[in-house]
Amino acid sequence: MSPTGWPMMLTAIFLAVAGPVGTYLLWNRVRGPRPVRALSRLSMIGVSQVLAILLFGVLVNNYYGLYASWDDLLGDTGSPGVIIHDNKVVADGVPTPGLDVTPGPGGDAQGGRGTVVPVVPRDRPAGPDQRFDKYGDDALVTSFTGPKSGLGGQNDVMVWLPPQYSDPAYAKTNFPVVMLFPGYPGSPQTWFGNMAGQKELARLVQQKASTPFVLAAVNISPIKGVNTDCTDIPNGPQVATYIADDVRTMLERTFRVTTDRSGWGMMGYSEGGLCAGKLLVQYPQDFSAAVQMSGDVRPGGYVGKYGPDFANRNSTLWVLRNHKPNPPVALLAAASAEDASGSVLTDALSLQQAAPDVVDVLRKEHGSHNTEVWKQWLPQAYGWLSEHLDPVKPQS
């Protein structure tokens, strides 16, 4: 019996009801000295409470699809999976970037964002540095309000700097950046807490298995209780502008990072995965690679309120089918066959079918929709991003 499904649900309901009923029936039948009777009754109450908590856990797991199997619950999700490039498994796990950038039928190559313009080098923004405070042992945090979007809030942006950033040999080096997006509801702190994204990158850098990226975790829902799927809503919150323009410009102004699109990438899990893929195909002039972990390929109900055309322009799958991004981008769609949504792997393969020169798929057979699965993907994700973003070299 798996931890999801009706058999487990009915068992949990039966036990949750049986606990209090059994306690009631046995309450006056307990024999022995007073301390023994008291301990026995307390034990019955405790068992009833544990069974009620079990039912609550089963309900939550069924609703969110957190754990698909007992191994998944115990943290054993098997192999992290293999990367499939152009419908072929890559033996060494490192795909070759696609080079075909021909726009698809239907117009521009930016998903309805207007006429394609040549990419020109970005100048480093002028203005004062944003103040960051220390967060934990190795991260920085700030409360930032975007000047264009007007969005932002307390501790909405967190940054981790690799050891090379303070190394004198790299004093003149501009570092590539990976923006990190949490799920919804969620917070950027998860990336440097439960996900431990910075610790895994530090380990890989030490092993020379990854580029020493600057990591920037960003809140994708700056308006509490409103999930825009990282979209600029007409006459509403401009979340895409907040992330891709306001936050990026602030980071370029404050830290020694590259301003070239070839050094900017994104990675997110769950709702943050949708954001990473969507913003990549909508802003190819600003970002060149992204990793989408267990992310949807179409926006949700809030965006759908503004009509099918608007929803399409904010759908990663629709954009790849109708407006191939130009300049070229690369997307890694990571998905598990046991993801509770039932469509994440199918959607990832649909992305690859729509644009095999753009999309690689990291396919995993076991594990549901939880941080243990996403953490297991981090080594391959960082390695893949290292192949698609600018390297870091000491500058004399």
- The Cα 285–Cα 297 span in angstroms is 20
Give the closest residue to 347 by CA, choosing from 289, 284, 292.
292
Give the closest residue to 329 by CA, choosing from 265, 274, 248.
265
Q: Going by C-beta distance under 8 Å and a sequence separation of 6 or more, which residues neighbour residue 382? A: 200, 201, 204, 209, 210, 211, 213
Structural domain contains residue 300: yes
Secondary structure (DSSP) of 113-161 = SSS-----PPPPPPSPPPP-EEETTTEEEEEEE-TTT--EEEEEEEEE-
Residues 46 and 159 in one domain: no
Q: What is the pLDDT of residues 218-263, one digit of tens each?
A: 999 998 888 999 999 999 999 999 999 999 999 999 999 999 999 9
Residues 247 and 296 in one domain: yes
Residues 17 and 42 in one domain: yes
Structural domain contains residue 127: yes
Residues 79 and 176 in one domain: yes
Residues 294 and 163 in one domain: yes
Report the domain count for the chain.
2
Q: What are the backbone dihedrals phi and psi of residue 117, each rounded to the nearest 5 degrees, phi first?
A: -120, 150
Residues 164 and 51 in one domain: no
Q: What is the pLDDT of residues 363-390, one digit of tens each?
A: 988 777 888 899 999 999 999 999 999 9
Residues 271 and 374 in one domain: yes
Of the residues 14, 37, 64, the one at which a domain ends: 64
User: Which 8-state DSSP code applies to residue 166?
Assistant: G
Residues 103 and 34 in one domain: no
Residues 154 and 296 in one domain: yes
What's the Rg (C-alpha) of the chain? 24
Residue 329 confidence (pLDDT) above 50: yes
Structural domain contains residue 396: no
One-letter identity of residue 180: L
Token pair belonging to 128? 């004062």
**Full 3-state SS string of 189-219:** HHHHCCCCHHHHHHHHHHCCCCCCCEEEEEC
- The Cα 299–Cα 338 span in angstroms is 22
Can you give the pLDDT at residue 86?
Answer: 65
Structural domain contains residue 394: no
Can you give the pLDDT at residue 396?
Answer: 63
High-pLDDT (> 90) share of the chain, %: 57
- Region of 385 (left: φ > 0; alpha: ψ -120 to 50; beta: rest) is alpha
- The Cα 236–Cα 244 span in angstroms is 17
Range of the domain at 344: 73-388
Task: Kindly give the pairing relationship between strand 139-145 and strand 264-269.
Answer: unpaired
Q: pTM of this prediction?
A: 0.75
Structural domain contains residue 393: no
For residues 353 and 123, which has the higher predicted lDDT (pLDDT)? 353
